[in-house]
Structure 1
Amino acid sequence: MLKWIIIAVALIALGVGGYFGYTMFFASSDDAAGEEAAQDGAGGEALEDLEGQLVPLPTFLVNLADPLGRRYLKLGVEVEVRDEEAAAALTKHEAKVKDTLLLLLSSKTYDSLSTMKAKVELKQEIADRLNQIVGNGSVLRVYITEMVIQ
């Protein structure tokens, strides 16, 4: 009889542990996916952000504006644009894009790029400059794919 009681208690403990594990690890990701789907359906803006198109830009290699002039920045960037028209405008104005980004990047110093906050600000500055060229709101996000400061 004691053997059956121990087995019953062990099964109950396993059941409670399994339920706890499910609610902590699996149910929370299911709920988050459901909330995200509801947000996409209700607010069309979030859905548009997910459907952006990535456009790679050429790698930039510039001298930084340090006093000794011995530091270089190598930056690889991909830009997420709203639609095909924005991607076409970005490639059409490639010379303006390169000029604008080269001037922006060469005005930076090592100290102004060394923190994480500075890198996030750089991404925002690049997005703002590109939006001025291809049309306001066309550039959704900027992704830094490669960054070397030497």
Structure 2
Amino acid sequence: MIKRLLSKRLLLLVIPLVLVVAGAGFFLLGGAGAAPFVLNITINQSGDGGKSAAPAEQHLTVSLGERIVNLADPGGYRYLKTEIVVEVAVDQKTYERLTAAGGGGGHGGGGGSTDPLRAELEHSWPKIQDTLTMVLTSKTVDELATLEGKEHLKDELREKLQPAFGDYKITEVYLTQFVIQ
């Protein structure tokens, strides 16, 4: 008899406890329209509450256009057809200004007038195009045929184009099209 009473009392305690735990789990996991629970923890935060942390860095891309150039091989019968896209790092404020201006944010794009980053670089565009011509036409097929050669070309383009990009720090150069004939 005592066992029956204990088992009924135990059952009366366990069922509500299980329901409360299940309901809390359902709420925390965001089920059935419940507000999701977000835990925001910052590890290794500085003593000033993180106020000295650098603003978030964003990245924008701009196409420098498709180019066909003669390579520096003897006889001048080899050419390179390429499209180069440059990625630059900008601060959050500049990113918001540029993405609000053109809607496209400079991502991809064909280098048209709707690209706000391209518009920002318009004063440097002749210098950028000249740098591309000088670097690309100085290469031979043998230099560009290997993966290492292409990586070296990207590094050289990043270094030589940076002065024309001014405050926009070039973070990456992409060869989105690359055909040697």
TM-score range, shorter chain: 0.5 to 0.7
Residue 165 of structure 2 corresponds to residue 141 of structure 1:
no
Q: CA RMSD in A?
A: 2.9
Aligned to 1:76: 83
Higher helix share: 1
Q: How does 1:111-122 map to 2 (within 5 A)?
A: 111-122=142-153
CA distance in 1, matches of 2:89, 2:82: 23
Opposite residue 147 of structure 2, the aligned amino acid is: M
Q: Deviations for 1:80-105, whole angstroms, at most 9, x for unmatched residues? A: 11235893543331111001110110
Select the structure of larger CA radius of gyration: 2
Check the 8 A contact 1:78/1:145 in 2, yes or no. yes
Unaligned runs of 5+ in 1: 1-37
Runs of 4+ off more than 4 Å? none
Give the drift of 1:57. 1.0
Q: How does 1:1-150 map to 2 (within 5 A)?
A: 48=57, 51-83=58-90, 84=94, 87=117, 88-135=119-166, 138-150=169-181
Distance 1:138 1:148, change over 3 A: same
CA distance in 1, matches of 2:172, 2:121: 14
Q: Secondary structure at the match of 2:133?
A: helix
TM-score, normalised relative to structure 2: 0.53
Distance 1:117 1:55, change over 3 A: same
Q: Secondary structure at the match of 2:143?
A: coil
Opposite residue 75 of structure 1, the aligned amino acid is: T
TM-score, normalised relative to structure 1: 0.63
